[in-house]
Amino acid sequence: MRVTAIRVAGLALFASAGNAEVYYLIVGGLGGDAPYEERFAAHAQSLAQAASRTLGGDSRVSLLAGEEASREALTAALESLAETTTPADTLIAFFIGHGSFDGEQYKYNLPGPDIDGRTLGDLLEAVPAGRQLVVNATSASGAILETWAGERRTLITATRSGGERNATRFGEHWAAALADEEADANKNGAITTREAFDYTQRKVSDSFESEGTLATEHPQLVGEAAGSMNVALLAERVATTAELERLIGELEALEADIDALRLRRNQMQSEAYLDELQSLLLDLALVQRQIDEARDGD
């Protein structure tokens, strides 16, 4: 009998609205020196692979790296997303590379003319996607914490201020987080924004501690309301049987319920919130076990 692989879209991982789509934008900025050029290109490629794995294809993954990551190309990519996405959709954007801050203005360093923080922030704001995760892994990225923050956006920066100007380590560890089982704290095969941030923050801190040097970067996350959204899958969720398709659907529905519950946390009594969360996490673990058993017997 011929077995057909059934790709599960996994939209419940990111948004509960019907017909929602997830779009990734990955930018590897100017490196300057050859080692940085290679490093940024590798990080951008790793992030693009994680995005393609998560979506089951690259049709909604935009990658700009090396000479292709110009101000014109980045502007065009964001303008295209502004025309393509709807309020039901999710945008996940990663900016890798060097940034600068002169005390007044942040700039993202790109081949050719740089793009300033205000312009880039305006382009992001023009994208109507109702949920946004924006990760700025550049040096001096903390300079945009206030100006890029928004009600519908979770914002992560590699530094806490524009004064932390050394080349960052954040991008390397963030890229690793989206493919490392160690980052998957609840072992459900999906990496949440919070899990990826905690993993990256820990790895950055450990790297300075192991060298016996003072940390020159302090990652920040703002927008806790969306901080639990999933950012990547460790493996593409492909069902080879109707039973697996059903179970994966249940798993993703439970993940969406957990995400929605976390959004309501501030409106609930602590005990009620924890009871409901514990119940959902237990259900999630049981369904994940059923999936594992079904795959072992497949």
Dump pLDDT digits (tens) for 143-174. 999 999 988 899 999 999 999 999 999 999 99
- Asked whether residue 195 is domain-assigned, the answer is yes
202 and 85 within one domain: yes
181 and 273 within one domain: no
Q: What CATH number did the domain enclosing 112 receive? A: 3.40.50.1460
The per-residue pLDDT for 188 is 76
Band of residue 298 on the pLDDT scale cut at 50, 70, 90: low
Lowest mean pLDDT among 70-74, 153-157, 259-263: 259-263
254 and 292 within one domain: yes
Number of domains in the chain: 2
- The domain in which residue 97 lies consists of 11-233
125 and 256 within one domain: no
**Structure-block tokens of residue 56:** 């089951």
Express each pLDDT in 31-70 by its tens digit. 878 888 889 999 999 999 999 999 988 999 999 998 999 9
- Asked whether residue 213 is domain-assigned, the answer is yes
**How far apart, in whole angstroms, are the C-alpha atoms of residue 15 and residue 255?**
10
The per-residue pLDDT for 268 is 86
- Give backbone dihedrals phi and psi of 21, rounded to 5 degrees, phi first: -125, 155
**How far apart, in whole angstroms, are the C-alpha atoms of residue 160 and residue 40?**
21
3-state secondary structure (DSSP) of residue 297: coil
246 and 228 within one domain: no
**How far apart, in whole angstroms, are the C-alpha atoms of residue 104 and residue 95?**
20
The per-residue pLDDT for 34 is 82
* 105 CB-near residues (< 8 Å, 6+ apart): 116, 117, 118
Other CB atoms within a 10 A radius of the CB of residue 71 amount to: 17
Say which residue, 245 or 220, is predicted with more confidence: 220
DSSP H helical segments within 69-192, as ranges?
71-84, 117-125, 145-148, 170-177
3-state secondary structure (DSSP) of residue 14: coil
Residue 125 contacts residue 114 (beta carbons within 8 Å) = no
Residue 161 contacts residue 219 (beta carbons within 8 Å) = no
